[in-house]
Amino acid sequence: MKQLVLPLDHTPRFDPQEFVISRANQEAVLWLRSWPAWPGSCLALYGDEGCGKTHLSHIWQKSTGAKRLEGREFDNMDLDVLMTIPPYLVLEKAHLIKNEEKLFHVYNHLVQSQGGLLLISRTAPARWATRLPDLKSRLSTVPAIKIEAPDEPLLTQVIQKLFEDRQVKVEEDVIIFLLKHIERSFESARRWVETLNTHSLTSKRGITIPLVREALAQAEKESPSAPSPT
């Protein structure tokens, strides 16, 4: 009998000591450590989903006491309210902001208040479809730091952390085996951790190389383009 898998919320931990520094994110870490010496009091971090942008922004938020808002949440807030928050702001999914005039005013307010603005998005602000000329001009001067694609040592530690967030212990040789058969990206790592955790719970087995082989074989049947286990 297979065990029922409950849709529990696995809340990630954003402790500074748990962030893994590697070639892929070293530049972003150095920029955050250089605060408050950012040009124009603003910095943008961008990269693929799951690359560590949010984790880094939580570290900066904790050190500054910044307010955190998502792009659509920002759009729904009154400008008067935004002007009264502490002069430090993290804007997650900032590329989704529609009210460009509001962002322009908040940007100027934070700079004039000697505060700080950290923009988090998939792409650099200079590539956003910004229509307001004054805002476009401001965003073009913001230092935009890309978190690069992960190397194997970083992905190994990221996958270990994803399992630890679910309170699941997986041996390193299992993770290394997995990495040989999946796309090497943060998003792929996140999907496979979720898949293997589900396989483990439903079959009441630990996450071992045989279980990974089975999951890979099943994925190949469902999607012929998927890598085949060897």
Model confidence pLDDT, tens digit, residues 36-51: 999 889 999 999 877 7
Instruction: Name the percent of the chain lying above pLDDT 70.
Output: 89
Quick check: 22 and 33 in contact, CB under 8 A?
Answer: no
CATH of 152-222, picked from 1.10.10.10, 1.10.8.60, 2.40.50.140, 3.30.70.380, is 1.10.8.60
Short-list 163, 144, 159, CA closest to 50: 159
Domain regions of the chain by residue span: 25-146, 152-222
Give me the mean pLDDT over the 5-24 stretch.
56
Check: CATH 3.40.50.300 for 25-146?
A: yes
Query: What pTM, to 2 d.p., does this model score?
Result: 0.73
Give 16's pLDDT tier (boundaries 50, 70, 90).
Answer: low
pLDDT digits (tens, 9 = 90+) for 90-121: 999 999 999 999 999 999 999 999 999 999 99
152-222 shares the fold of 25-146: no
pLDDT at 65: 93
